[in-house]
Amino acid sequence: MLAHSAEVVARAPVFTPLRHRHKLKEHNWRQTILSYRADDAEKLVPAEMPPGSALTIRRDAGLGDCLMIACALAALKRKRPDLHITFATPPAYTAILARFDCIDEAIPLDEALVVGAPMLEFSNYCERHPQADITNRVTIFAQALGVAAGRLPTYTPTSADMQEAQLLLRGRRPIAICMRGKYPHRSWLIPRALQFAARLADEGLDVMLFDAEEQPPYTTWISDDLPAARAFGLPLPTVAALLLHCRAAVAPDTGFLHLCGCLGVPFVGIFGAIPPHLRTSIYRDHVDLIADGLPCVPCFEGQKHITCRLECLQAIDVDMVRRALGRLGLTQYGRP
């Protein structure tokens, strides 16, 4: 197996987009398609590949970044529908990514090297890109593919996904609340999220709480009096099917937020101090909340979060989020 893998890699080299500042000086980045290099010789621009070519994209990162790449791939697929695009990601995301029209095949990361098609390695690409702090990631990914961002991918749930969602919803069209992200600085404060859910319920709105874990550690904090449905630990395709029936969503900067954006679900994004325009520029119908007046705004993460006290998230209160929902057109009893 190892010999076979080595042979395939020799025939299908891995290309990495140029990412270092010194290699881009004296070039206008916004007008220059970034090239790809293997052994400092070959170049690859996906939008200019021969007709009927196959291409593999690899990204070892969270769901949000994979979905932003899907937005860039939607632009590539629109320009080059003849390309066969394989997307290699962490195994947990392949089922949901395979349901987007711009992706012909979604595979686990460790299978990428034996596909046989030229592979673009996007892992850590944006993080090291010289424009990372001023340009949204979808634009950066699209630029590397040789296209201009501007089109959302189309998502098609299976009938089984929709049936499962309908059983859980029982005819309701709730407000979805993502309780937390993977990291504290990309999460809403749990007590505040529960307070917000209680306020919506008091207004007569249906609420559904989402979490990636089946038994999140804050479960005992949820009052028995809170009439909110729980969508905890569900497969991502089921989460997507549920979101397609939701009136709107509230989420921090997580994969859940980007899933809402790709599905066209109106959302309120809670970003604290992270600049939202670097993440959500391509999405429609959203309001992004960022803390003002703090010395750490804007925040580009990094080592500062070792000692971060999350003042930015504490500054975003329930009233701010409720007003943001109102800006999305959400009235007390639903969307007009």
pLDDT digits (tens, 9 = 90+) for 66-88: 999 999 999 999 999 999 999 99
pLDDT digits (tens, 9 = 90+) for 18-53: 543 334 444 443 433 444 444 333 467 899 899 999
Mean pLDDT score of the chain, rounded to an integer? 84
**3-class DSSP state of 205:** coil
Residue of 325, 169, 148 whose CA lies nearest to 250: 325
Mean pLDDT check: name the lowest of 79-83, 155-159, 186-190: 186-190
219 vs 182: which has the higher pLDDT: 219
Q: How much of the chain is helix, strand and coil, in % rounded to 5?
A: 40, 20, 45
Bond preceding residue 298 cis, omega within 30 of 0: yes
Element (H, E) at 228: strand 228-232
Give the model's confidence band at 329: pLDDT under 50 very low, under 70 low, under 90 confident, else very high: confident
Segment 233-259 mean pLDDT: 97
What CATH class is the domain 159-327? alpha beta
The residue ranges of every structural domain in the chain are 2-145, 159-327
- Cut 0.85: pTM above it: yes
Residue of 92, 124, 132, 109 whose CA lies nearest to 233: 92
Give the span between the Cα atoms of 202 and 210, in whole angstroms.
19
Within 10 angstroms of residue 192's Cβ, the number of other Cβ atoms is 16
